Amino acid sequence: MNPNPQAGERSPRRSGQRTLDLPSALVEELKSEANRLGRSLSSLVQMAWRISNGRSPDPPERPPEPWEPVAAELVPRLSNPSKRRTASRAWLHFEQWCVARGQSPLPARDETLAAYAAERLAGGAPTNEILRAASAISLVHRVRGCRAPRLRPSARKAVDRLRAGEALPPRRAGTG
């Protein structure tokens, strides 16, 4: 197979790829119809296939994932969709943890975040996962206009202290 087909040659098909040999006038008509409907030619062909097989013209819309609304809030702060999804899931986990223990997830206190981190560590969560969760929780607080809870003295040191079974120092009065 020639990876760069010349004029008149057919390009090689990828495995599983289907092609239709249609007259060019019909292809132009389909393109025009797809444009009128605001769809791609591929989506129009898929829609025709679904109709011909007795299915709905459009695939059923999936319900949004529980983390998607939170991820939408994080768009201004996180450009990477994967990081938004991860941060949103971490926030939802923290929120569920707080509700189960009668704590307020927003605004959360430093002690609440420390207790969450300690429990996650006791459950075997890796240090980096705890640090990412603490960062996500702080980010959601800032996005929603609240003071972000912090692990003190620093997140890494706090997690190391919690892992060693030590208590974290109390928050000093007047510190942000």
User: Hey, where are the domains in the chain?
Assistant: 25-58, 68-163
Predicted pLDDT of residue 1: 47
What is the model's pTM? Answer: 0.59
**Cβ pair 118, 97 in contact under 8 A:** no
Predicted pLDDT of residue 78: 86
DSSP state of 59: P
Write phi, then psi, for 126 (nearest 5 degrees): -70, 155
End-to-end CA distance of the chain: 66
**Cβ pair 84, 75 in contact under 8 A:** yes
Digitized pLDDT (tens) for each residue of the chain, 176 residues in all = 455 555 555 556 566 656 667 778 877 888 888 888 888 888 888 888 888 888 887 777 778 888 888 888 888 888 888 999 999 999 999 999 999 999 989 888 888 888 898 899 888 888 888 889 989 999 999 998 988 888 766 666 777 777 666 666 565 555 45
Q: Which CATH class is domain 68-163?
A: mainly alpha
What's the CA gap between 127 and 93, in Å, rounded? 16
Helix (H, G, I), strand (E, B) or coil at 168: coil
